[in-house]
Structure formats: C-alpha cells, structure tokens
Amino acid sequence: MAKNLDALVEDPIPEGLRFPRLEGVRVRSGLLVELSGMEEDFKADRTLDIRGQVCPLTFVRAKLAIEKMALGEVLEIIVDHPPAAVSVPRSLEHEGQTVLGVERVGDAQWHLFVRKDRDQAQ
Amino acid sequence: MEFTEDQIHRYSRHILLPEVGGGGQARLLGARVALVGAGGLGSPVGYYLAAAGVGTIGVIDDDRVELSNLQRQIAHTTRRIGALKVESAKEAWEGLNPDVRVVPHAVRLTAANIRGILEDYDIVADGSDNFPTRYLVNDACVMMKKTLVSAAVFRFEGQVLAVYPGAGPCYRCVFETPPPAGMVPSCQEVGVLGVVPGVVGTLQATEVVKAILGVGEPLRGRLLIWNALAMSFTVVKVPRNRACPVCGDHPTITGLADG
C-alpha cells in the first residue's frame, strides 16, 4: 500500500525535494505500487493540463482551478515537472483538499486527482 | 474572477497563501483605498498597495515635490521636483503595476470637501503631517463609518492605530484633543530619520491589506509604537472612550470642522 508519495516517484526527485508523507493517497495503474481496492474510479469533473509548467506556478494554477469548482468535484491535474507530482498534491492537502490518486504515465507525466473538500475563497 | 496570464504570475506569491488565494487577490483588485498624504508615509503605503494590486488608490495631497522630500518620500524622484506629489505618485505606482488606477486629488482636505472625496473609498490610510488634518480625517471616518489606518512619525519613532468605527476606539479616544497650535512642531519643522516613515508606512500598508483580506488581528484598540533607536515595538492597549466627543455614547462633535 502506498502511504507515501516517495513510493510514487522514485528516480526523478532528488532526496531533498521529497516530502515525507501524504496520508491516504490511493494509487492507480501505471504506478510502481498498487493498492487493493483499485476498482474505484475517480471521475474528473475538470482537467487542468499544466505540462511544461514548473513550481510554484503549477500549484498556483491548480489552486485557482479548484477555487472555481464546487465542493465534491474532482479535478484532474496533468503535470510533467517531477517535483510538482509530489508538491502539488501535498500543498492541496495542506489546504484541506483530498488527493484521491496519483497516476504516473510514462517516465515523467503524472495525473493528479484531487477532490475539492474545502472552500478557500471567503 | 478570471485572472490574466500576467496577473497569475504577478500575484502568484499572494495566491499561494491559503489566507489570500484567488479570492483574496480578487478582493484586493476590487478594493478602493484613499491615502491622505503622498509624503513619507504615503509613499511606501502606495507602493505596497499598488504592488499588492489594490485596484483603486486615491491619493490626496496639494503639495509639490521638493528636494528636501527625497530623503524619505520614495514615491518621488529628483527629476519630478516641482511636480504635484499626487501626479508624481501616480506615475510611480501605476508604473509598478498597471492593474492599479491611482486617482489624484490635488487638494487640501477641509471640512467642506472631505466627505465628497472619501465617499468613493472603503478604507482610508492617513499619513498626514499635521494635527488638524489628522483629526478631521478621524472624525470624517467615524461619521462615514470608514475603516481608518492612522499613522504618524516623529524623529526616530512612529505609531500606527487602526480605527473600525463602532467597533473599537477612534483616534480621538486615544488622543482626545490636538495639542495647541505651536506647542508641538510638525514634521514640516523637525527632523525625521528617512527610514522611519518607510517602516511605519509599511506597517500601515500591512494593516490596510489585512483589512481588505479580513485576515489576522487588526490593530484595533491597540496602538503600535515603533522606536528605531531602541529597535523596539510597543503595543499599548487603548480602550474606546465612552465619553469620546466623536464616537462616544453622546457625541458632542456631530459635524466636521477645520481645526
């Protein structure tokens, strides 16, 4: 069971850029680690393709996209900047959103599935 | 709101903050703040509000830029000596951020004109250099229920107080009457270390931005005093004065008057 994002992204991320843990992340196909109960599918309500973008703009754009969505909706974020695969879901969790899964496609492309559970905008 | 690509980049360090985000940045862009004075305090306040993307900044000052201003009034430049300070400040702040509209009011505030000017703004930052204006601005803000962030500097020291009319003390609760004319030298007459209005104006801008965002603890009922030589911050709790002539239970000042 992947309790830890380090398991998702091994080579491309230098040790210093890894974040310790991201609880509750479930992992789908294409990943190094599989999780039982994988049959659950995350249906994305919106997709944000920010390949080619680097941190922190990746998180800025993800956050702006989430702000525009309704509670309970799922955003799929496509990134190819390896640190973003770890730091974007971690930062979104920090803001109260729920990371449903991180799917790795190929060498350096990740699909992050995040459910909006908290409204930041007042 | 939909941000442009430039805005996403320009405000990214704001949007990253959970306390700001896109929603908070949109509030900043929609905010209307009046600055009383485009001098030592107004310069950093206007610069930081412009940088923050405060959408409308009104600036009220009838002075022109003088060489002796430039030791501390960083909105102005040597080349703009002789220009109206409000025009010089507009050039500086709109140059920093084209999202911002700076509205110049090249007048001296009086009992007759203050309401007409302040009614277009939500928050007032007072950086004036004289007591009659300071009290006039306080009284007008109390009567018009405008949030006021008042600041002043003197030699090596400065103070900041936020006034939320109806919810905490006003400037008169803390300093009931202006000192008699001639008793206290004004900043026009005495020295001030150039960085002092920089620090105090930046604190003042911080309170304005917090008020727009609705985050943190405002300097409401707390007078902040900063001393450069001691490098000390002192916070003095100040209560609302129920006998305050302007915001007390039975106000005796019910109209505006020039001091």
Give me the domain span that covers residue A21: 5-115
Chain B residue whose CA is closest to A59: B16
Angle at CA of residue B122, ends B102 and B84, nearest 5°: 30
Mutate to test the interface with A, among B2, B6, B12 (most CBs of A within 10 A): B12
Task: Decide if A96 is inside a domain.
Answer: yes
Task: Decide if A79 is inside a domain.
Answer: yes
Residue B258 has pLDDT above 60, yes or no: yes
Residue B140 has pLDDT above 70, yes or no: yes
Q: Quick one: pLDDT at residue B190?
A: 78
What is the predicted ipTM? Answer: 0.79
Residue A38 has pLDDT above 50, yes or no: no
Q: Among A28-42, A50-64, B30-44, name the one with the lowest average pLDDT.
A: A28-42
User: Per-residue confidence at B188, pLDDT binned at 50, 70, 90?
Assistant: low
Chains A and B: how many Cβ contacts under 8 Å? 35
Q: Which residues of A touch B8 (CB under 8 A)?
A: 57, 60-61, 64
Q: Quick one: pLDDT at residue B141?
A: 98
Q: Quick one: pLDDT at residue B176?
A: 86
Max CA pair span of chain A: 40
Spatial distance between the Cα atoms of B208 and B228, rounded to a whole number of angstroms: 22
CB proximity list for B185: less than 8 A, separation 6 or greater? none
Q: What is the CB neighbour count within 10 angstroms for residue B236?
A: 12
Do residue A63 and residue B9 have CB atoms under 8 angstroms apart?
Answer: no
Compute the average pLDDT of residues A27-40: 41
Task: Decide if A21 is inside a domain.
Answer: yes
pLDDT digits (tens, 9 = 90+) for B37-94: 999 999 999 999 999 999 999 999 999 999 999 999 999 999 999 999 999 999 999 9
Whether A60 and chain B come into contact, CB under 8 Å, resolves to yes
**Domains of chain B listed by start with CATH number:** 31-237 (3.40.50.720)
Domains: count for chain A: 1
Chain B residue whose CA is closest to A93: B18
Place of tokens 């911002």: B100
Residue A77 has pLDDT above 60, yes or no: yes
Decide if A111 contacts A105 (C-beta within 8 A). yes
- As a 3-state breakdown, chain A gives helix, strand, coil percent values, each rounded to 5, of 25, 20, 55
Task: Decide if A120 is inside a domain.
Answer: no
Q: Quick one: pLDDT at residue B187?
A: 60
Mean pLDDT of chain B: 95
Phi/psi for B49 (5° steps) reads -70, -40
Smallest CA–CA separation between B5 and chain A, in Å?
10
Task: Decide if A76 is inside a domain.
Answer: yes
Decide if A62 contacts A75 (C-beta within 8 A). yes
Q: Quick one: pLDDT at residue B123?
A: 98
Task: Decide if A44 is inside a domain.
Answer: yes
Residue A18 has pLDDT above 50, yes or no: no
Do residue A121 and residue B22 have CB atoms under 8 angstroms apart?
Answer: yes
Chain B residue whose CA is closest to A57: B12
Smallest CA–CA separation between A70 and chain B, in Å?
14
CATH of the domain at A70: 3.30.110.40
Residues of B at the A interface, defined by Cβ within 8 angstroms:
3, 8-9, 12, 15-16, 18, 21-24, 214
DSSP characters for A79-110? E--HHHHHHHHHHHHHTT-EEEEEEE-SSS-E
Task: Decide if A87 is inside a domain.
Answer: yes
Task: Decide if A122 is inside a domain.
Answer: no
Smallest CA–CA separation between B195 and chain A, in Å?
33
pLDDT digits (tens, 9 = 90+) for B143-173: 999 999 999 999 999 999 999 999 999 999 9
Share of chain B above pLDDT 70, in %: 96
Mean pLDDT of chain A: 76
Q: Quick one: pLDDT at residue A37?
A: 38
Please report, for residues B8, B36, B124, B247, the alpha-carbon distance to residue B39 in angstroms, rounded to integers and kept in the order given.
31, 9, 15, 28
Catalytic residue among A7, A30, A42, A55: A55
Residue B21 has pLDDT above 80, yes or no: yes
Q: Among A7-21, B7-21, B25-39, B49-63, name the one with the lowest average pLDDT.
A: A7-21
Compute the average pLDDT of residues A43-49: 94
Do residue A122 and residue B214 have CB atoms under 8 angstroms apart?
Answer: yes
Residue A86 has pLDDT above 80, yes or no: yes
pLDDT digits (tens, 9 = 90+) for A91-101: 999 999 999 99
A55 is catalytic: yes
pLDDT digits (tens, 9 = 90+) for B125-135: 999 999 999 99
Chain B residue whose CA is closest to A67: B22
Residue B202 has pLDDT above 60, yes or no: yes
